[in-house]
Structure 1
Amino acid sequence: MSSSTGGSKSPSKGGVAGLMTPGRITVAVIALLTLVFIFENTRSTKIRLLIPEVTMPLWMALFGTAVLGAVCGAYFVRRRK
């Protein structure tokens, strides 16, 4: 028989309710708005990458920048733990 002694453990939420925290909802909304912004800007533009100048769709430059930012953010969050 196992009995709970009423320690410091709090009951965990199961199912979908446990996955839908306010922080996760906020991040999902920001990610969705970022994708909408990126894909609304589809015209080609000239971009200088240090020395060469390239012409590419603006959405690709925005998406690449967002991915690099996410990777850098994940790296620093992981190092802080």
Structure 2
Amino acid sequence: MAQPSPDHKARQPFLARPGVRRFAPFVLITAVALVFIFENRSDVEIRLLVPIVTMPLWGALLIAWALGMLACVFTVRRRASRHSRQPK
């Protein structure tokens, strides 16, 4: 049986990988938020500057959640690009 070379790295467990550890809280918070959103099914009146709109509460919460996710994506992308610049 062949012995692995001493410089061969042992495989990390799946949950110990940095990408998974960063992604796990996002998945958990998203699941809780979506359960909360879809449990609120009553109709509400929402004022959008001038007009008043009647819509299901889950729709309004889902729109707010999606806008928050977009803001997070743009913030993370901007921060990553700022850190990747080389000093002159």
Q: Could you state the TM-score of these two structures normalised by the residue count of structure 2? A: 0.69
Percent same amino acid among aligned pairs? 38
1:9-41 Cα deviation digits (max 9, x unpaired): xx5858x82587222121111000000000000
C-alpha separation in 2, matches of 1:48 and 1:13: 54
C-alpha separation in 2, matches of 1:67 and 1:73: 10
User: Which secondary structure state, in structure 1, belongs to the residue aligned with residue 54 of structure 2?
Assistant: strand
| Residue 31, structure 1, aligned to residue 30, structure 2 | yes
Per the alignment, do residues 12 and 26 of structure 1 end up closer, same or farther by CA in structure 2, a change over 3 Å counting? farther
Segments of 5+ residues of structure 2 without an aligned counterpart are 1-6, 81-88
Segments of 5+ residues of structure 1 without an aligned counterpart are 1-5
Q: Could you state the TM-score of these two structures normalised by the residue count of structure 1? A: 0.75
The one-letter amino acid paired with 2:22 is G
C-alpha separation in 2, matches of 1:73 and 1:20: 17
Q: How many residues align?
A: 72
Q: CA RMSD in A?
A: 2.6
